[in-house]
Amino acid sequence: MSASAHLQKAATNQNNLKPAGAGGVRQRQSLEARHNLIEATIFCLDKFGYADTSIARIQDQAKVSRGALTHHFPSKEELVIATIDSLLEKLLRPSLPSKKLSQTDIVADLRWLARNITGTARGRALSEVLMATRTDKKLSARVSARLTDWNTKLDEAVVGFYASPNGDDDDVRQIWMIARTFMRGLILQQPFTPDPAQIEQAINRFGTLIAPYLETRKRDGVDDAKPL
Query: 163, 170, 167, 133: which is closest to 148 by C-alpha?
Result: 133
Q: Which of 28, 35, 47, 115 binds a copy of itself (CB under 8 A)?
A: 47
Say how far apart CA 107 and CA 99 lie, in whole Å: 14
Helix then strand count (H, E) for the chain reads 9, 2
Which of a copy of itself, DNA, none is residue 55 near (CB under 5 to 8 Å by kind)? DNA
Q: Whole-angstrom Cα distance, residue 222 to residue 184?
A: 29
Residue 185 touching DNA (CB under 7 A): no
Residue 203 beta carbon to DNA: minimum distance, rounded to whole angstroms:
35
Structural element, H or E, at residue 16: none
For the bound state, the minimum distance from the C-beta of residue 52 to a copy of itself, rounded and expressed in Å, comes to: 7
Would you give the end-to-end CA distance of the chain in angstroms? 28
66 binds DNA (CB under 7 A): yes
The item of a copy of itself, DNA, none sharing an interface with residue 75, based on CB under 5 to 8 Å by kind, is DNA
Distant-in-sequence, close-in-space partners of 101: CB < 8 Å, separation ≥ 6: 109, 161, 216, 219, 226
Verify binding: residue 135, a copy of itself, rule CB under 8 A: yes
Pick from 80, 127, 162, 227 the residue near a copy of itself by CB under 8 A: 127
Binding site for a copy of itself (CB under 8 A): 46-52, 124, 127-128, 130-136, 140, 143-144, 147-148, 150-151, 171, 174-175, 177-178, 180-194, 198, 201-202, 205-206, 209-210, 213
